Structure 1
Amino acid sequence: MDERVLPGTILIADPFLKDPNFMRTAVFICEHQSEGSFGFVLNRKYDKVVGDLVNDLDGCQLPVFYGGPVQMDTIHFIHQRPDLIQGGVEITDGIFWGGDFATLVELIQEEKIKPHHIRFFIGYSGWSEGQLAGELEEKSWLTTSGNRKLVFMPDENQIWPEALKQMGGDFEQLIHYPIDPQLN
């Protein structure tokens, strides 16, 4: 298992990564084992809101994010309210993955969950055994530690640059690199 990646790590796509699924993304890793890794793209909004996808939440305007290209017929959530949503798994420092969905629906209907407490994802990002380690060796990803500020940032477009700023030093300069340096 690659020690550079632990649950709670944020993978920051290299500015020159051309894979359209991950270009300029930040991926929050929820699970990393020898068999593979699993996480969610944090900074790419999906074109529907949760009320469009969950029958019991009709009219709910909470955003849904594109978690990744795997199982696009599934909805996942991370949150920071374990006091209200039982059964979640703590990934890192007060960030929980999943929990009792029926309770979550009730809490949303009763307006007891605020938008900055939760993120919904359609699909997820997954890597098979050794795949993520290979991508790290190829320098497709940089890594930084996940925290509530980055994971639940209100403006998802700021997550990728803020993750690079969190790394400090020369990494901050990467924010300004063009997507295609040949066009420069």
Structure 2
Amino acid sequence: MAFSTLADKRERGFLDGQFLIAMPGMEDGNFARSVVYICAHSADGAMGFIINRSQQISFVDVLLHLKMLDEHDAILLPEKTRSFPILSGGPVETGRGFVLHSDDFTGDSSIPISDDISLTATLDVVRAISEDRGPSRATMMLGYAGWGAGQLEAEIAGNGWLNCPATEDMIFDHCLEDKYERALATMGISAAMLSTDAGHA
């Protein structure tokens, strides 16, 4: 599903607002040990963001690239702004930024994802965060994960993914190292309990 169709989406699929947790046998290296927050799911496909993969680019790098400040001003930014997390959201459109955030901020193109979470992909939210007037909770991703019609359902049927309800705390939790294990724990299971073979414990 192309991101551009998300704004037009009104039909909700059964994976909307769910986490996908990669099974140990996930063959696609882009998604090994990943936790994906699904923002849109319909008969046309699905899209979401990996929420546990770090990005080498910093928020300051983003601001400099967008020419929102110069290097001298960057030094003066508060630590909270300098350390704002940038994640690798997925393998599609990796040069494009997206911000998942709490609904206390509404930008020019903000799209409600759930009752409490919105998505903004325009520069106004980046500028607001840099000026400490952005949403109370937010995470920026470069790129997203997308699936065509029926593709994700086939991957789930093939034992590629587990799914469970998403939690806002985990979406905005900046501790990435054990997020995969913690996501599994919300389902009462551990990585050691999982099998790469469908139908076998």
Q: TM-score normalised by the shorter chain: which range applies?
A: 0.7 to 0.9
TM-score by length of 2: 0.75
When residues 107 and 146 of structure 1 are mapped into structure 2, their CA distance, relative to the original with a 3 A threshold, is same
1:144 match? 164
Structure 2 counterparts to residues 1-184 of structure 1, below 5 A = 4-5=14-15, 7-54=16-63, 55=66, 56=68, 59=74, 60-80=82-102, 82-86=103-107, 87-98=109-120, 101-102=123-124, 104-113=125-134, 117-168=137-188, 172-174=189-191
- Paired with 1:25 and 1:48, the residues of 2 have a C-alpha distance of 19
Q: CA deviation at 1:176?
A: 7.0
| Distance in 1 separating the partners of 2:160 and 2:195 | 16
| C-alpha distance in structure 2 between counterparts of 1:147 and 1:93, whole Å | 12
**Deviation at residue 62 of structure 1 after TM alignment:** 1.7
Distance change in 2, residues 1:61/1:131 (3 Å): same
Distance 1:53 1:107, change over 3 A: closer
- For the 8 Å contact 2:99–2:119, the answer to whether it is kept is yes
From the CA coordinates, give the structure whose radius of gyration is larger.
2
Structure 1 length normalisation: TM-score? Answer: 0.82
**Identity over aligned residues, as a percent?**
28
Q: What secondary structure, in the 3-state scheme, does the structure 2 residue paired with 1:28 have? A: strand
Contact 1:9 1:143 in 2 (8 A): yes
CA offsets per residue over residues 134-164 of structure 1, 9 Å max, x none?
A: 0010010000111111111120223211111
The CA deviation at 1:95 is 1.5
Amino acid at match of 1:91: I
- The one-letter code matched in structure 2 to 1:108 is I
Q: Which has the higher strand share?
A: 1
The change in CA–CA distance for 1:117 and 1:43 in structure 2 (over 3 A counts) is same
Q: Which residue identity does 2:132 align to in structure 1?
A: E
Deviations 1:38-97 (A, max 9, x none): 0000000111112212321663432211111111121111001x3333342222241111
Cα deviation for residue 113 of structure 1 reads 3.6
Q: Which is worse superposed, 57-66 or 144-153?
A: 57-66
Give the partner amino acid of 2:144: Y
- What residue ranges of structure 1 are gaps of 5+ in the alignment? 180-184
The alignment covers a number of residue pairs equal to: 172
